[in-house]
Amino acid sequence: MNQDKQARREISISFTRHIVLVVIIVSFTPMIVVSGIILDQYYTSYREKLYAHLNEMVHKHTQNIDGFLTERLNDIKFLSQTCGDDQLINESVLYEKLVLLQRNSGNVFEDLGIINEAGIQIAYAGPYKLEQAFYAEEEWFQEALQHQYYISDVFLGLRSRPHFIVSVRNVYQNERVLLRATINFEAFNALVENLRIGATGFAFIVNQKGKYQTRPHYDLIQNAPSYLQVIKKAEQKENGVYVGTVSDVFRNKDLIFLAAPLKNEDWMLVFQQEREDAYEDLKRTQIIAGIIIFVGALMIVLMNLFFFHKAVGRIAEADKAKEMMNRQVIETGKMASVGRLAAGIAHEINNPVAIMVEEAGWIDDLLNDGDFDECKNLDELKNSLKQINTQGKRCKDITHKLLSFARKTGSKLEQIQINDTIEEVIGLFDKSTYSRISFELNLAEELPPIYGSRTELQQVLLNLVNNAVYFLEKEGGTIRIATNFDNDNVFIVVEDNGPGIPKSNLERVFDPFFTTKPVGKGSGLGLAICYGIIKRRGGEITVSSAVDAGTSFEIRLPLGGQDQSSDNRPLPPESIPA
Amino acid sequence: MEDRPTGSPQKIKLLLVDDEKDFVEVLTKRLKSRGFDVTAAYCGAEAIQALRKVDFDVAILDLKMEDMNGLEVLKIFKKMYSDMQVIILSGHETEQTVREGMEYGAFEYLSKPCEFEALVRTLHDATSAANT
């Protein structure tokens, strides 16, 4: 029994596990797939938007910076064209023009100078003492001399501060002269520094040789020329912006960059940002989504476990109920078969017993005729015949009891007050004869009457009380009878505190011919008849017992009272063998 | 063995129908000793044959016979000769057979094994009921 329970428990646990696993897989697979697709789509769209945004920013800044440079060049061009070198060579005029330029363009211009072909600054207006400065050796000077208009790279120069110049070449007194203006580095740098995104996104300008033309936020790229190569290898968008990623091995960071050519491709405006920083928002969203998915998954698992635990509990209950019902069906079937068999036997025995009894009667008739009066054993013969008759009657009793267990009786159905019937039955037991036995009645007040056969109910109660009395007779004891009811049923309990029934016999007590009484004391049919009667009336009789503690019979009878004998009749008359 | 004197001057003509030969024989002997004029029949057909020849006062009829159901025989008896009283004596008592037997006009339903004196009493009751 315990093994059975254990096995059932194991099956139930493995069943729960299996189902939970299946449901988790079934619900998680789409969830994971959908979440994956959504996150991927989100990543793609975020990336596209991010790059589109950066692209536009870089493009705009490129245009701004290009515009700034062109404007500055135009300023100088205009100055050159409107004033002419002969005027500008006059330093006070030059100074005047510088002030004017500074006023118009917000101190972008630091100074102005005229440099002759030999590289000597022949006129200068500005804060530094650069009159007669010599630039012949300077790279920018040589380049500027080659070009009509020129914008230099950033260099330190004589003033030892980063700056760059814009220059216009003119011819003055058959000699090439340069009108040069120095652009305030800070003002220019501010243009690029404006482009700041997130914590690590910043822009800088680098020339073709890889030299920074603005101050980078930090010296990120140690080997700028190779960085420039990386940029040029990267994917180039429609508007000429290079987009790609590069790894900063020194800080172990991945960087994204966007680079756009400036100043006729002499320079490159580069925007870079740490990848982690650029995708910060995405990461945050992914973490939130991850938490939501995790919480959702956790809920699914918990709900699954909860519901399946409940479902398995219900299944187990249903199994139990089913098993109980099966047992009842088997029991009923067994009783029906036994009933059929009993009835068949009873009928078959009736005929030979009748012959036997009649033959004995015939002998008795003959003896009574007086012919055998002289026979010395006449009395013995007569005694024997009497004994045959008695035993014949006993046989008849048994077969009649068998039949009453097996088939519908002709009892009259009426409204019966169970409490009254119980009192009637108890009244049959003479108090003086059974002085060692006490009866305790605990009868429910206002017990509703049931519809059934009074004689049958009497028979049932009498059988139960008789049994109890039989087992209590020796040692004495108490027989308790209680009644109770609910909306549909009436319950009768007959219990005693006698020796009890051993477990091995408990399942057999309702079987016909099962008795523990000595031969001749009990036919073993009493409880079988009780069982048959209660079942026929749509009720139930159960027994519980413990050795040395007593026995309790519980009867449930439906209030409506139903006669099931027609459905359940073990022995239809036509099937009775001749 | 001689017949015992009975209360009635004329012997009661009795038809005993049962397929248990031994039972018929012993009962015939006992009933004859009580003054009944017993004719034995061992099956339904034989009983019907006998009734064609003699008007019996009373019949004892078994229900389960090999050739015919006793209730069928009872119906035929009642059709052929409704004055004859029929007592069913059967080992196969069920509520249904008792009810049907009585419905078809049986005088009494006795179950085997039956007390002989009770049977004789019932036979006399049946004949006196028929005569009144």
For tokens 């006129």, the residue is A123
Give CA separation, B105 vs A239, B77, B96, in Å: 121, 10, 14
Specify the pLDDT at position A571.
35
How many alpha carbons lie under 13 Å from residue B53 in its C-beta half-sphere? 9
Q: Does A366 touch chain B (CB under 8 A)?
A: yes
β-partners of residue A493 are A482, A554
For tokens 């209660």, the residue is A534
Sign of the Cα pseudo-torsion (A409, A411, A414, A416, in order): negative
As for the ipTM of the complex, it is: 0.85
DSSP for A330-353, written as a single string: HHHHHHHHHHHHHHHHHHHHHHHH
pLDDT (average), residues B58-73: 90
Specify the pLDDT at position B4.
44
Task: Give dist(CA B34, CA B60) in Å, integer.
Answer: 15
DSSP for A48-111, written as a single string: HHHHHHHHHHHHHHHHHHHHHHHHHHHHHHHHHHHH-HHHHTSHHHHHHHHHHHHHHHTS-EEE
Q: Exposed (0-12), middle (13-18) or buried (19+): which is A548, by Cβ within 10 Å?
A: exposed
In this complex, the residue of B19, B94, B113 whose CB is nearest that of residue A407 is B94
> pTM surpassing 0.90?
no
Specify the pLDDT at position A2.
61
- Nearest-Cα distance to chain B for A437, in Å, is 38
Specify the pLDDT at position A432.
75
In a mutational test of the A interface, the residue from B29, B73, B94, B98 whose CB has the highest number of chain A CBs within 10 Å is B94
Specify the pLDDT at position A478.
92
Positions of E strands within A407-539: 413-416, 437-442, 450-453, 477-485, 489-496
Write the pLDDT tens digit of every residue in B14-65. Answer: 999 999 899 999 999 999 999 999 999 999 999 999 999 999 999 999 988 8
* pLDDT (tens place) for every residue of chain A, 578 residues total: 566 667 777 877 787 778 778 877 888 888 889 888 988 998 899 989 988 888 888 888 888 889 988 999 999 999 888 887 778 888 888 899 899 988 888 888 989 999 998 999 999 998 888 888 899 888 889 999 999 999 988 888 878 888 889 999 988 888 889 999 999 888 888 888 888 888 888 888 888 887 788 877 665 555 556 677 778 788 877 778 888 888 877 778 888 888 888 887 888 888 888 888 888 888 898 899 889 888 988 888 888 888 888 888 888 889 888 888 887 777 777 777 777 777 778 778 888 999 999 999 999 888 888 878 888 888 888 899 999 988 888 888 888 777 766 654 445 677 888 998 898 888 877 777 788 888 899 999 889 998 888 878 888 898 899 889 888 888 889 999 999 999 889 999 999 998 988 888 888 888 877 888 776 666 777 888 888 888 888 899 999 998 888 999 999 999 875 554 444 433 333 333 33
Task: Give dist(CA B88, CA B59) in Å, integer.
Answer: 8
Window 308-347 of A, Cβ < 8 Å to B:
347
Q: Does B35 touch chain A (CB under 8 A)?
A: no
- Nearest-Cα distance to chain A for B63, in Å, is 9
Determine if residue A198 is left, alpha or beta; phi over 0 gives left, psi from -120 to 50 gives alpha, anything else beta.
left
For tokens 């064609």, the residue is B52
- Residues A112 and A179: beta-carbon distance below 8 Å: yes
A532 Cβ contact list (under 8 Å, min separation 6)? A335, A339, A404, A405, A406
* CB-CB neighbors (< 8 A) of B20 in chain A: 351, 354-355
Specify the pLDDT at position A129.
86
In this complex, the residue of A354, A395, A403 whose CB is nearest that of residue B23 is A354
The two structure tokens encoding residue A74: 């135009």
Q: Where are the alpha helices (H) located in chain B, listed in sequence order?
A: 21-33, 44-53, 70-80, 95-103, 116-131
Window 11-70 of A, Cβ < 8 Å to B:
none
Q: Does A536 touch chain B (CB under 8 A)?
A: no
* CB-CB neighbors (< 8 A) of B91 in chain A: 347-351, 354
Task: Give dist(CA A266, CA A264) in Å, integer.
Answer: 5
